[in-house]
Amino acid sequence: MKKANEKLGPFLGRHPGLAEDFNECINESMSEDEFEARWAEMIAKWDLAEHETFLWLKKYAKFWVPCYYRHRFFPFLQSTQRSEGFNAVLKRYINPHNSIKHFVKQYEKLQQRILGKEGHNDFRTDELEPDPWSSFPIEKQALAVYTRPIYHRFRKEFALIGCYNVQPQGNNLYQLVPNNEKCYPYGGRYYMVNDNGGQFNCECCKFERDDQYILRRWTPAALQTVVQPTVPAQDDVMPEESRQKLRFANLSTKFVALAKLASASDQHDAIARRHIGEMTTEFAQLNKDIYFSTYYASENIFRAYPNATSTSTYNIKQAAGTSVSSRACANSTYYM
């Protein structure tokens, strides 16, 4: 509907009444046959048989018109695509130009926010007692069995009973007629309800289960049988290899930005090369220090353990938390 309004906005503005017919056709059609009939009537009334956008909308109607998927379960998603709905939430917390480490931290914050909201809803359900909208027993039952968010959704719908009159049609059929021209958000259409031995089925939604009015997933008991997975305890420390890759990725991004600045002129380039030379010298000195500290640590170990083999010496170095790479040795001007 958003894309349709973007494409059709000016056209609908030039044809008063078309937008209302269009919205009623899309939102108030309870079956595919009814939609087809309403659409054909709208096309004929407004002479839209050759209109390119309306032809395109009709071609893909089964992918976006509600009557084609009205009886499927979509638990309050704000989008027809699960990924689109979650991506909209992620974009409020995460910048695609940030590092993976930043992504993980922001994702944890998002998770805590969601868990906090769930805890808030649980507290409202368990501890707070809202004032009922009416004195009907059905609302008292809904307040007792539903979670608080589901109850408020139920009460919002339940409050609309004052917008309709019930007219018996015989054979356990009843017709719900708006007592005004329209009832937001359901428009001005009539609804047929069938009483099948205490099971009420409306043409707007057909159920196939006996527990159609109180589903377990709508109650506080929904999570009581969930078994938490057992995960072996792990140290919350990033491996050194991963830390090195993360540092490389972050530095690469920064050096690319510096390279763009350094390429502006010969003077910029000279400054960059001077600092690169200074960094290379400092890295070489750091590698020497690491090498000699490791060497003297191993020499002390040899004195303490004269029978140690080269293999055990390497293991002792590793246990001391120092590992000398061939690159570090190659960058050093001293060789042992």
Average model confidence (pLDDT) for the chain?
78
* 232 within domain boundaries: no
* 336 within domain boundaries: no
Task: Give the pLDDT confidence of 259-309 residue by residue, as tens digits.
Answer: 999 999 999 999 999 999 999 999 999 888 888 787 776 666 556 555 555
Same domain? For 200 and 279 the reply is: no
Question: pTM for this one?
Answer: 0.46
Confidence (pLDDT) at 2: 80
**DSSP per residue, 290-311:** HHHHHHHHHHHHHHH-TT--HH
CA distance 125 to 324: 59
Same domain? For 64 and 17 the reply is: yes
Are the C-beta atoms of residues 25 and 43 closer than 8 Å to each other? no
Among 187, 190, 204, residue whose Cα is nearest residue 20: 187
Would you give the end-to-end CA distance of the chain in angstroms? Answer: 75
* 167 within domain boundaries: yes
Last residue of a domain, one of 76, 102, 128: 102
Same domain? For 7 and 92 the reply is: yes
Identify the H or E element spanning 195: strand 191-196
* 68 within domain boundaries: yes
Same domain? For 246 and 216 the reply is: no
Q: Looking at this protein, which amino acid is placed at residue 48?
A: L
How many residues does the structure list for the chain? 336
**% the chain with pLDDT above 70:** 75
Same domain? For 158 and 72 the reply is: no
* 165 within domain boundaries: yes
Cis omega (within 30 of 0) on the bond before 185? yes
Q: Which domain holds residue 145?
A: 137-221
* 129 within domain boundaries: no
Q: How many domains does the chain have?
A: 3
**% the chain with pLDDT above 90:** 24
Same domain? For 265 and 202 the reply is: no
Same domain? For 312 and 244 the reply is: yes
Confidence (pLDDT) at 212: 64
* 171 within domain boundaries: yes
Confidence (pLDDT) at 103: 83
* 233 within domain boundaries: no
Range in 32-36, 94-98, 312-316 with the lowest mean pLDDT: 312-316
Task: Give the pLDDT confidence of 221-251 residue by residue, as tens digits.
Answer: 776 555 656 666 555 677 888 888 888 888 8
Task: Give the pLDDT confidence of 121-177 residue by residue, as tens digits.
Answer: 777 666 777 888 899 999 999 988 888 888 888 999 898 888 999 999 988 899 999
